[in-house]
Amino acid sequence: MTGPIEYVETQRVRLFTAETPLRLRSGRELAEVDVAYETYGELNEARDNAIFVCHALTGHAHAAGLHLGAKKRGWWDNIIGPGKPLDTDKYFVVAPNILGGCSGTTGPLSVNPATGEPYYMDFPLLHMSDLVQVHRALVAHLGIEKLYAGVGGSLGGMQILQWVIDQPDAMAKAVIVAASSRISTENIAFSSVARTAIMSDPEFYDGRYVEHDTVPRLGQKVARMMAHITYVSDVSLDDKFGHRRDSVGEEMQMEPDFAVEHYLQHQGEVFLDRFDALSYLYLTRLLDYFDPFAAPETAERLAATETTFQVTSFDSDWRFDTRQSMAMVEQLEAAGVAVDFAELHSTYGHDSFLLQPPGYHDRIAGFLNRA
């Protein structure tokens, strides 16, 4: 069978409670943690065909299929489904929204049971291991002892890496795409500017903007516009927009005029409707501090794993470029881990992992189908 997944529903479960709180790497606790997730395909009788999908920075649990009444398919619908690389005729695919997110899983706007109001900026800073701990709890809730594979692009790939470090026997295969084990200084700089734009917005109100029935629209819009530029490539922007102007006549103007400007304005506006500024702050900060190979115990933990890795980068991705993937691969191989690495050609930049550049889907399918 081939074709798209039809209608799906997002499910929700409370995985941590006041009696069994989530203890974070920082030592702080979250008394209640709810998780939104979707599943595709069927768990087999042996319960050994599960693939766990981790999403990127602004993703969510709706990775494939359609919600009833909606027109937009899941964000990774081109890779999840019957006959696709994550073949739901073979595999049971699990896709959650991550801790700190804003699409059904506990995050900064969730109610703190100790105060009865949202956490806002009292929400704790997160470590990648905190996200993974919640993923592990979801896997246990679903009655799965070991995953067939974990798959993630960008921040999703970093979650997969941390997962194997934290739990070396968690999965047989790890697929990491367009990711890094230590983001570049340039990446930290971009995120710093984005957070400054949000937190400097007069509508931010120290993170309590919901109490004022507003959002930091300008700051969040600018943050997304800037970030979006880093997700694409110069070639893709030039091919799509060139120097085309949308106005009539040749007079210069200060307002947006070029097609690429209007495109970025649109990207910034739609982001306001689908993502929360506080989640953006917390998750970008999480990325800045991610550096698992700096921990002395990492190599020893990886030496105990039998997980095989596939790491893929794209030659036009300058946000998480191939050098960052190769640095990860070198560290994995130094720990004795089996790694299949390749740089693929694509004109789409960092967003390549969401699309279908030549060879990409076949590469993942081949790795997952390999005995």
CA–CA separation, 265 and 216 (whole Å): 15
200 is catalytic: no
CA gyration radius, the chain = 21
317 is catalytic: yes
Instruction: Name all domains of the chain by residue range, CATH numbers in brackets.
Output: 11-183+294-369 (3.40.50.1820), 187-285 (1.10.1740.110)
- Count how many Cα atoms sit within 13 Å of the Cα of residue 206 in the half-sphere of its side chain: 2
Collapsing DSSP to helix, strand or coil, 346 comes out as: coil
Task: Tell me, yes or no, if 228 is annotated catalytic.
Answer: no
pTM over 0.85: yes
Q: Which are the contacts of 107, defined by CB distance < 8 A and separation ≥ 6? A: 99, 100, 101, 119, 123, 276, 278, 279, 282
Known binding residues: 224, 351
The residue annotated as part of the active site, out of 201, 276, 317, 321, is 317
Binding residues for substrate: 224, 351
Catalytic residue among 154, 181, 279, 352: 154
Given 201, 316, 350, 352, which residue is catalytic?
Answer: 350
**Digits of tens for pLDDT over the chain (371 positions)?**
566 898 999 999 999 999 999 999 999 999 999 999 999 999 999 999 999 999 999 999 999 999 999 999 999 999 999 999 999 999 999 999 999 999 999 999 999 999 999 999 999 999 999 999 999 999 999 999 999 999 999 999 999 999 999 999 999 999 999 999 999 999 999 999 999 999 999 999 999 999 999 999 999 999 999 999 999 999 999 999 999 998 777 788 999 999 999 999 999 999 999 999 999 999 999 999 999 999 999 999 999 999 999 999 999 999 999 999 999 999 999 999 999 999 999 999 999 999 999 999 999 999 999 98
Residue 157: closest CA among 139, 180, 191: 180
Residues contacting residue 218 through CB under 8 Å, at least 6 positions apart = 197, 201, 203
